[in-house]
Amino acid sequence: MTDTSTTVRRRRAGGRLVRLVAVTGVLGAVAVSGPPAANAAPGAAGIAHGFHSGTVTIVTERDRAGGYALVDRGRGGLEVRDLGGGFFQGPYSGVRPTDADNRWGTGVADDRATANVDAYYAAEVTWDYLRAVHGRFGIAGDGVGPLVLTNVGEPDGVASYEADCRCVLLSPPPAGSRSMNAIDVVAHEIGHGVSGVTAGFDNFGESGGLNEANSDILGTLVEFAAGNPADAPDYMIGESTPGGPLRYMDDPTRNGAGKGCWDPSLVDEPSNHRIGAPAIKFFYQLSVGSGRSAWGDSPTCGGAPAVTGLGNERAGRIWFRAVTEYMVSNTDYAGARAATLRAATDLYGPSSVEVSTVAAAWTAVGVDGTRPVPPAPTGPKIRFIGAWHDAAGASTYHYVQVTHPQRRPVTLTATGLPPGTRLDPGTTRISGTPTVAGEYPVTLTATDPDGNTRTHTLSWIVA
């Protein structure tokens, strides 16, 4: 998995394209009234024949024609939209796949309808994991399910996350091959959304590596939580995708995907995934332990003492709390060590075996606590947005990703919006129907209670 300079619509537009290779709306987001009850999703029970997921039960919705659509209201309006090989043109791109008898897919690897249900099922089980284990309802914790756009652009093995629509983009399966729409890959992309609205990692240096590592960790935890025999849980990333496994968490050096042991030259690695290698090895040892096991062989670095793992449940809770509560945009490996120690202390107490295991697991990948933790930035941060592109007379929406290193509340304002659009400051969502074509310089201002501000100007082009 590597970052590239284009998106599946062939422009950046504030999003990140992630190409998965061997080297490496919700139709308008639908708010729910309070968190849905566990396993109480309304709708119909469909049968999906996926390639990655096998035959599984999914929750669908009746459409106006009397058939069924890949929409799950009980999971916050989670939805799949199929672009049919077209390029991403915003959150309303493509169409909702429908089916007359609520029997979906063929199980054939390169069938695009099968790719749809693989992606949909993966998003459902990701929602379930976040809800059941972490009490989080959706990417932003606001009860809104993710939008998954499938069969986007060319069949070139691409999966990405677009922050301005909080959506996952997945390219079509190549003829005779298979899609990228495996559980851990889809959960990986949703993980970028969760870390984006909490830690707000910079997408470069050690923080960029932690950004990718966090998504690998979440993808693995979801795969284990799903327990799907067709995609048996493991500590490999994208093992069922073309060219997979893409990374091995026990020892990232196995396929040349990273060093696994931290050293000062790590930031010179050519991709964020390679920079993130020590973090995924740390998590493996925190969960499984070092040395040989049924899951792999994970040697410690530099002769560090062996580590006895805590298991996925405790390791996952520690990591998730660290990312969502303590890590910030410029968190590096020293900061990640400090954040996970704080999280373990919160959850299990300062003298717990969990705290000592976190320290041992970091030492085992070369992060021994001797480097200083960089001071966190002060005041709000607005994620960089280059431009938005929409059409006059067409409904649209965009989210502005705003984070605060001190977890303070932030007020967002916007000036210069195209006529027909408005900002909802409570959700940082700008939506509506632009009525007049033109190029609009939009200025966004984020302000915290102490008066610290950040501004960002983008170009909103209405064709």
The predicted-structure confidence for 5-16, as pLDDT tens digits, reads as follows 223 333 322 333
List Cα–Cα distances, 251 to 246, 254, 338, 365, 366, in angstroms. 12, 6, 23, 10, 14
Cis before 372 (ω within 30): no
The answer on 404 and 328 residing in a single domain is no
339 in helix, strand or coil? helix
pTM for the whole structure? 0.91
| CATH code, domain carrying 419 | 2.60.40.10
Mapping DSSP to helix (H, G, I), strand (E, B) and coil, where does residue 135 land?
coil
Same domain, 354 and 385: no
pLDDT of residue 26: 22
In-domain check, residue 319: yes
Comparing C-alpha atoms, which of 382, 383, 376, 379 is closest to residue 342?
376
Asked whether residue 255 falls in the same domain as residue 330, the answer is yes
In a domain, 30, yes or no: yes
| Residue 18: predicted pLDDT | 32
Given a cut of 60, whether residue 20 has pLDDT beyond it is no
Do residues 339 and 435 both lie within one domain?
Answer: no
1 has pLDDT over 50: no
Span 52-108, pLDDT tens digits: 999 999 999 999 888 999 999 999 999 999 999 999 988 999 999 999 999 999 999
Q: Which of 52, 188, 273, 398 does the annotation list as catalytic?
A: 273
Whether the CB-CB separation of 50 and 230 falls below 8 Å is answered with yes
The verdict on residue 235 lying in a domain is: no
- Measured on CA atoms in the order 375, 376, 377, 378, is the torsion positive or negative? negative
Identify any residues that bridge with 419 across adjacent strands, giving them in sequence order. none
Same domain, 335 and 385: no
273 catalytically annotated:
yes
- Residue 21 scores a pLDDT above 60: no
Candidate list 61, 124, 189, 223, residue with the active-site label: 189
pLDDT (mean) for 254-264: 90
Q: Is the pLDDT of residue 312 over 50?
A: yes
The band of 31, judged by pLDDT with boundaries at 50, 70 and 90, is very low
pLDDT at 42: 62
**Domain final residue pick, 158, 181, 197:** 197
Which CATH number belongs to the domain containing residue 275 in this structure? 1.10.390.10
Residue 374 in any domain: the answer is no
Structural domain containing residue 412:
381-462
Total domains, the chain: 3
161 and 187: one domain?
yes
Q: What is the mean pLDDT of the chain?
A: 91
- Coil/strand/helix, residue 362: helix
Determine, yes or no, domain membership for 78: yes
Do 352 and 445 fall within a single domain?
A: no
Look up residue 87 and give its two tokens: 């390029």
Q: At residue 130, what is the residue type? A: L
Same domain, 10 and 111: yes
Single residue among 179, 197, 215 that ends a domain in this structure:
197
Q: Express each pLDDT in 335-390 by its tens digit.
A: 999 999 999 999 999 999 999 999 999 999 999 999 999 999 999 999 999 999 99
Where b means 16+ CB within 10 Å and e means fewer, 159-197 reads: bbbbbbbbbbbbbbbeeeebbbbbbbbbbbbbbbbbbbb
Q: What is the pLDDT of residue 2?
A: 32
Question: In the listed set 336, 363, 390, which residue is the last one of a domain according to the structure?
Answer: 363
Q: Does residue 389 sit in the same domain as residue 453?
A: yes
231 is a domain residue: no
Same domain assignment for residues 177 and 103: yes
232 within some domain? no
Q: Tell me, yes or no, whether 226 lies in a domain.
A: no
Residues 297 and 173 in one domain: no
Judgement on whether residues 39 and 78 belong to the same structural domain of the protein: yes
180-190: per-residue pLDDT in tens? 999 999 999 99
